[in-house]
Amino acid sequence: MRHSSTPLRALTVTAVGVVTLAALTGCFGPPVAVETPRPTPVDFGGIGGESPAPIETGDPVVPTAPPEAGYTTLTDDLQVLSIQVPSAWTDVDGSPFTTDGGTEWAALTAAPNLDEYYTTWTTPGVEFAATPIDEPVDEAALVGFLGSIGSSYTSGCVALDVELPYDDGFYVGVFSTWENCGGDGGAQAFAIVAQDPSFAHAVYVRGQLVTAQDQGDSLAVILATFQSSIE
C-alpha cells in the first residue's frame, strides 16, 4: 500500500459531519475528576483481512490545515497519520503496532501524561490508528470492531450512545459514547471506527474527555482533523 501527499480532508466539517459532531459533543455533562484506574483493552479486532498488507512509507501526510491557537498538529512515526490536539497534550507516542493476527497499524496517541491517561480516568487524551484494507469493511465487522475498541469503556463507564452511524463527510462508520467513567461525575469517552471513501484504509479514534474544554472545542478539532493518507 502507498500513501499520498495530497490533503485528504478540509478542517471545516460538512453538513453531514456537523450532525455527527453535534451528537458527539452535545451528549456530555459537566465533568468531575474520579481517581479510579481504567482497564486496559485486550483486543484490537480483526480488521485488515486474512492476509494483512504492510504499511508502506512514502511522501509525508499533509495536515488538513494550520492549527488554531491552543492546538498543535501531530504526525505518527510512519508519517501516514495526522491529527490536531490541544497544545498541552505534549506526551506523544507515534509508534506503530502489530496485532496478534499480523495486522500492522500506524498509531498516534497524545495526552498531557500518557501513563496517567492509560491508567486513570482523570487525564484526557486521544488514540488514533489506521491500517490498510483491500476491500470495504461491512457494517457487522465495523460494529464488532467498535465493541473491541470500546472495551476500555464498557466496563468502567455508563453508555450514552451505542453503535450509532458516524459520517463526517469523509470517514463513514459507527461510534459510541460513554459518561461517568470511573464513577459518578467521572470522565466521558468516545470511540469511532470508520473507513475512507476509497476503502483504502480503516481507522479508529478513541479517547477520554475530562474538562468542558475537552468535551467541546477539543473534541470538535480532533474530529475535524484526524486523517490517514494510506492508499
**pTM summary value:** 0.82
Please check whether residue 177 is in contact with residue 190, taking contact to mean a CB–CB distance below 8 angstroms.
yes
Structural domain includes residue 2:
no
Could you read off the pLDDT of 37-85 as tens digits, one per residue?
Answer: 444 443 555 565 555 556 765 455 676 677 889 999 999 999 999 999 9
Structural domain includes residue 8:
no
Could you read off the pLDDT of 1-18 as tens digits, one per residue?
Answer: 434 433 445 543 433 343
Structural domain includes residue 10:
no
Count of domains observed in the chain: 1
Could you read off the pLDDT of 118-143 as tens digits, one per residue?
Answer: 999 999 999 999 999 989 999 999 99
Kindly tell me the number of DSSP H helices and DSSP E strands found in the chain.
Answer: 6, 12
CATH of the domain at 104: 3.40.1000.10
Domain that holds residue 197: 15-228
**Alpha-helix residue ranges (DSSP H) falling in 104-218:** 114-119, 139-149, 151-154, 212-213
Residue 18 buriedness (CB in 10 A; 0-12 / 13-18 / 19+): middle
Residue 37 buriedness (CB in 10 A; 0-12 / 13-18 / 19+): exposed
Please check whether residue 193 is in contact with residue 173, taking contact to mean a CB–CB distance below 8 angstroms.
yes
Structural domain includes residue 79:
yes
